[in-house]
Amino acid sequence: MASISVVGLGYVGLPTASMLASRGHDVYGLDTNERTVRELSEGRTDIREPELDTLVQAAAASGHLHCGTTARPADVFIIAVGTPIQADHSADLGAVMAAARSVATVLKRGDLVILESTVPPGTTVGPLREILETSGLRAGRDFRLSHCPERVLPGNLILELVTNDRIIGGFDEASSRASSEVYRSFVTGKLLETDATTAELVKLMENTFRDVNIALANEFALIAERLGIDAWEAIRLAGHHPRVKFMSPGPGVGGHCIPVDPWFVVEAAPDLAKLIATARAVNDGMPAHVVQLVRAALTDLAGAIIVTLGTTYKADVADTRESPAAHVIHALRHQGATVRAHDALLSPEPAVEELASGADALVLLVDHKAYRQLDPQALARRMHQRIIVDTRGKLDREAWRARGFEVIVLGESRHPARPVGQ
Ligand code: SAJ
């Protein structure tokens, strides 16, 4: 079994390090955050993800996992640090480059360096290789180098870490082969070998595909509202075509990947990536549209008491990064509303029923499972005005209407359809 150093112990690095240790590799987890290192050494993590606790505990108990804040020699280095965007939407590669510099201090002949972080095309063979070569060693000749992007879905991360097919983008064939061997120890999916720059673009294409398709659903939601049509019904019906599968409209696109990665493509080819940039603008415009829907229902936001349901970036995941809900809440407050923000995972107390006392409107921003059990009758009794705005199309509209609620659904027109031209 190889000795493997995992650099960056976040959402991807931490489960990967734990998984490798549980498969008998001698793993050293490296992170600049002392608390993360201490917790992982004790078999703990504050990342909330199904089954992660058990995996981390097992890895710590196996004796194969050690952690620290300074680089140590290893046979394999896996870099899994964050790559956010800067204010101008360009990639911030600071953490990747810092990780590479620390690896370069301990790199030796015969080692393999794998980059898992999502990066703009050309990063692995360009700036990453250059920093690693400050060690005096040459990629291809002295050490091997690959880009093997992570593809795990938060909420289903541990299963996908094992079962997803992996793209293995080697600097050369020897690098691809060596990287496949590392992943073969825990991945049951296919290992698909290609070159490093193709692998970088493939990762960006996957998240861009999702972003553009969500933007299409969001655009149709806006169009349906204008035309007096229910977008949810239209999307359901279109889905009966054998080759049409729509995404769901919503209050915007959050998380640390999908709102970020398409910008790396735009950065690489700004004059060509027109559809991709437009999709970003459509999705980024959704929180403001939600605020408009709430304002139209209440007439005036100033002085209104609004209970928002959900602050995370998506359902049943305890992660608020880039959450569209945060933008909606901020804008509502900015326009004078008092917002009582509830989240079924992060802030379940006080309960929704308590927060709703004297409130003018409920706004469902995240479709956590718990919100499907809300009792319209109990809420109707406590609220000052009975208004609910559903931005996820998940509530039983008729049940709420039956309890006297005005139900406004994103993508559903408040006006009946009228013939064109009237
Ligand atoms: N969303 C919609 N409508 C939909 C689906 C999602 O509005 O129909 C919104 C969600 O509410 C959320 C955002 O999009 O705000 C992103 O959620 P997501 O579930 O689509 O994706 P992530 O960010 O949790 O994970 C994605 C995944 N990428 C793909 O499915 C192509 C995951 O496999 C990647 O590993 C991850 O990005 C990543 O780390 O890159």
Ligand 1: centre distance to CA 210 (Å) = 7
DSSP string, 14-29: HHHHHHHHHTT-EEEE
3-state secondary structure of 286: helix
Give the binding-site residues of ligand 1, using a 6 Å CB cut-off: 118, 150-154, 206-207, 210, 214, 247-248, 250, 253-255, 257-258, 313-314
92 CA from centroid of ligand 1 (Å): 21
Model confidence pLDDT, tens digit, residues 231-248: 999 999 999 999 999 999
Q: Per residue in 252-267, pLDDT tens?
A: 999 999 999 999 999 9
- What does the pLDDT read at residue 415? 63
**Per-residue DSSP letter, 271:** T
CA-CA distances (angstroms) from residue 86 to 185, 205, 279?
36, 20, 19
**Nearest ligand 1 atom to alpha carbon 210:** 31
Q: Which of 369, 415, 368, 360 is nearest to 389 (CA)?
A: 360
Distance, in Å, from the CA atom of 319 to the CA atom of 254, rounded to the nearest integer, reads 10
Known catalytic residue: 257? yes
Ligand 1 centroid, distance to 258 Cα (angstroms):
6
Give residue 420's pLDDT. Answer: 57
Section 380-405 average pLDDT:
97
Q: How confident is the model at residue 197 (pLDDT cuts 50, 70, 90)?
A: very high
Question: Looking at ligand 1, which residue's alpha carbon is closest to its atom 28?
Answer: 207
Considering the chain, what percentage of its residues have pLDDT values greater than 90? 96
| Whole-number Å distance between alpha carbons of 420 and 422 | 6
pLDDT of residue 413: 78
The Cα–Cα gap between 417 and 224 comes to 9
Catalytic residue among 203, 274, 314, 369: 203
Q: What pLDDT score does 416 carry?
A: 60
Cα 8 to ligand 1 centre (Å): 22
For residue 69, report the distance from its CA to the centre of ligand 1, in Å.
Answer: 31
**80: pLDDT strictly greater than 90:** yes
Q: Which atom of ligand 1 is nearest to the CA of 313?
A: 15
CA angle, residues 266, 270, 276, in degrees to nearest 5: 45
Task: List pLDDT tens digits, range 84-127.
Answer: 999 999 999 999 999 999 999 999 999 999 999 999 999 999 99
Q: Whose CA is nearest to atom 38 of ligand 1?
A: 257
pLDDT tens-digit readout, 270-316 = 999 999 999 999 999 999 999 999 999 998 999 999 999 999 999 99
Say if residue 422's pLDDT is above 70.
no
Q: How do residues 316-334 score in pLDDT, each as one tens digit?
A: 999 999 999 999 999 999 9
pLDDT of 256:
94
For 352, residues 6+ apart whose C-beta sits below 8 A from its C-beta are 307, 309, 342, 362, 371, 374, 379
414: pLDDT strictly greater than 90: no
**In Å, how far are 6, 219, 227, 252 from 17, measured between CA atoms?**
6, 40, 52, 32
Q: How confident is the model at residue 1 (pLDDT cuts 50, 70, 90)?
A: confident
Best residue among 247, 314, 321, 328 to mutate for probing ligand 1, ranked by most atoms within 8 Å of CB: 314
Angle at 397 between CA 394 and CA 399, to 5 degrees: 115
Burial status of residue 142 (CB atoms within 10 A of its CB: 0-12, 13-18, 19 or more): middle
Q: How far, in Å, is the centroid of ligand 1 from the Cα of 171?
A: 29
Say what the pLDDT of residue 419 is. Answer: 60
What are 235's two structure tokens? 């999307």
Residue 68 burial class via C-beta count within 10 angstroms: exposed 0-12, middle 13-18, buried 19 and up: middle
- Residue whose CA is closest, atom 27 of ligand 1? 153
Atom number, ligand 1, closest to the C-alpha of residue 152: 35
**What are the structure tokens assigned to 416, written together?**
């009946």
Question: Using CA atoms in the order 208, 209, 211, 213, what is the torsion angle rounded to 10 degrees?
Answer: 160
**Which is catalytic among the residues 67, 108, 245, 257?**
257
- Tens of pLDDT, residue by residue over 37-57, are 999 988 999 999 999 999 999
For residues 133-147, average pLDDT: 98
User: Taking all residues of the chain, what is their mean pLDDT, rounded to a whole number?
Assistant: 96
